[in-house]
Amino acid sequence: MPDVIWFNRPTIEQLRAPSRTLDTSLGIVFTEIGDDYLKATMPVDERTKQPFGLLHGGASVSLAETLGSTAAYLCVDPAKSNVVGLEINANHIRGVREGVVTGIARPIHIGRATQLWEIRITDQQDKLVCISRITLAVLARV
């Protein structure tokens, strides 16, 4: 893979542009974009917990999909292509009751027809909470 993978590398401020989406409802905030990764945080609060007081697995998957889908989109020419999710999986390693979790998406494969991303979600002590992989199709714009 090239040193810098992005077709379009926005600033963090551009990624944080206000929207009325699931991301903002869950408090997901993009925090960093590196040469080959995208990072965001999500609070563990009443929006993201399950009834037993732990971070909801679905919230972790939402963070993973937000990171993977956004990163994949930034790797294509938006005038020519779009990306759509084909499959996502997640292994939940450890529970979290409070604080903030951080997700980092890194590419496994960036191809012409598909992309595969790994997203590692950690707690504030940098302990692994969830590991996820998302596969996306790269489609020609019509």
Q: pLDDT, tens digit, for every residue of 16-29?
A: 887 888 999 999 99
Cα dihedral 101→26→96→58 (10° resolution): -110
Q: What is the pLDDT of residue 18?
A: 79
Task: Determine how many CB atoms are found less than 10 A away from the CB of residue 78.
Answer: 12
* Average pLDDT rounded to a whole number, residues 78-88: 97
Nearest to 81 by CA among 119, 114, 118: 114
Q: What is the pLDDT of residue 63?
A: 98
The CATH class of 12-140 is alpha beta
Paired tokens of 31: 């925090």
Is 118 a catalytic site residue?
no
Banded model confidence at residue 2, pLDDT cuts 50, 70, 90: low
pLDDT, tens digit, 9 for 90 and up, residues 110-136: 999 999 999 999 999 999 999 999 999
Lowest mean pLDDT, pick from 13-22, 51-60, 69-78, 85-94? 13-22
Nearest to 40 by CA among 20, 66, 14: 66
Which residue shows structure tokens 């972790």? 60
Residue from 13, 32, 46, 65 carrying the catalytic annotation: 65
Does residue 142 carry a pLDDT above 90?
A: no
**Residue 128 contacts residue 122 (beta carbons within 8 Å):** yes
Q: What is the pLDDT of residue 98?
A: 98
**Residue 142 contacts residue 123 (beta carbons within 8 Å):** no
Computed over its alpha carbons, how large is the radius of gyration of the chain? 15
Does residue 4 carry a pLDDT above 90?
A: no
